Amino acid sequence: MSNAVWYHYPVGLIRVIVVSFISTTLLILGGGFAPQATEAADPGLPFIEDFASTSLRDPAGTTADWSTEEQELLLAWRQTVYGPFAGVAGSDLSWIILNTLCLAVGDMDGDGDLDVVIGNDGLNWLCLNDGDGTTWTCSYISSDAAVTQGVAVADLNGDGALEVVCGSWDGRMYVWDHAGRPLPGWPQSAADQFTSSAALVDLDGDGAPDIVAGSKDGNLYGWDHRGQPLPGFPIYLGHHVLSSPWVGDLEGNGRADIVVGASNGIHLLRDVGSLGIAPWPRFHRDAQNTGYVP
């Protein structure tokens, strides 16, 4: 293993450090501009580095003493692995599924097994589990969607089966049933790309999840499961809406609030509707980002 090189970037009050090796990457924080390189000792893993050198300290940004007399920095590390993971059972779902950007997990065919919905830079795929997770039947959902960066899954129409919701870089929001067939009223169009996943929450009190998603055209859109615009939507936020919305009740008043990020800041929209069932209220569904529908 070669010596480590510390890249430290002045970014205001925070000194950002990235450490890299040929076969191992140690990452503390990354970012900034104009890297400066300083040789570090050839360490073992994990290792504790001596920060006594003032070259790693920005006197204008901090008065902290980085030396090991006062503080030791234990670097977390991760091993970059190419090819099969040793000691891990499993197999590729399909070699023809490439450029995957997102996925969701749920029982799509109603047989009690967890299946996988895969969003790609290209065709989106549905892989059905044969029952023990070793054999999968994969087929593309639709040839229409272009680049899909977020998928959401829920039973939208109350038929007991899960539907797939995804926005695409072609500026359309798609809804398919568990067999990959478009639901009536879909797709719906925006004036620019959808670059994140939708939230699926009942906002009109009819007991069915509605669809809330932002577009690069600056609008936050809301539709019911039939593709009809929700009252008060779309909401223009002034610039590209790039993040997935969070929908919940911040005030405890039973009304839905929405938090969503755009290129001009974070927006909080209060009391946009009644708050009903919320099978997919945020990016990757839950706080653990599982993308899993139980």
Query: Residue 236: how many CB atoms within 10 A of its CB?
Result: 10
pLDDT at site 96 = 63
Kindly state the percentage of the chain with pLDDT values over 70. Answer: 66
Q: What are the helix and strand counts (H, E) for the chain? A: 0, 22
If residue 257 lies in a helix (H) or strand (E), which one and from where to where? strand 255-262
Q: pTM for this structure? A: 0.69
Kindly state the percentage of the chain with pLDDT values over 90. Answer: 48
- How far is the C-alpha of 225 from the C-alpha of 210, rounded, in Å? 6
pLDDT tens digit sequence for 207-223: 999 999 999 999 999 99
pLDDT at site 141 = 83
pLDDT tens digit sequence for 143-170: 676 788 889 999 999 999 999 999 999 9
The encoded tokens of residue 82 equal: 């190419």
pLDDT tens digit sequence for 267-285: 999 999 999 999 999 999 9
Cβ–Cβ under 8 Å, residues 141 and 103? no
DSSP calls for 262-280: ETTEEEEEEEEEE----SB
DSSP calls for 59-115: TTT-----STTT--EEPP-EE---SSPTT-----S-TT--SEEEEEEE-SSSSSS-E
- How far is the C-alpha of 149 from the C-alpha of 242, rounded, in Å? 11
The encoded tokens of residue 200 equal: 């699926």
pLDDT tens digit sequence for 170-214: 999 999 998 888 899 999 999 999 988 999 999 999 999 999 999
Cβ–Cβ under 8 Å, residues 221 and 236? no
Query: Would you say residue 106 has pLDDT above 90?
Result: yes
Query: Would you say residue 248 has pLDDT above 50?
Result: yes
pLDDT tens digit sequence for 33-89: 333 333 344 444 444 444 455 555 555 555 555 454 444 433 333 344 445 555 656
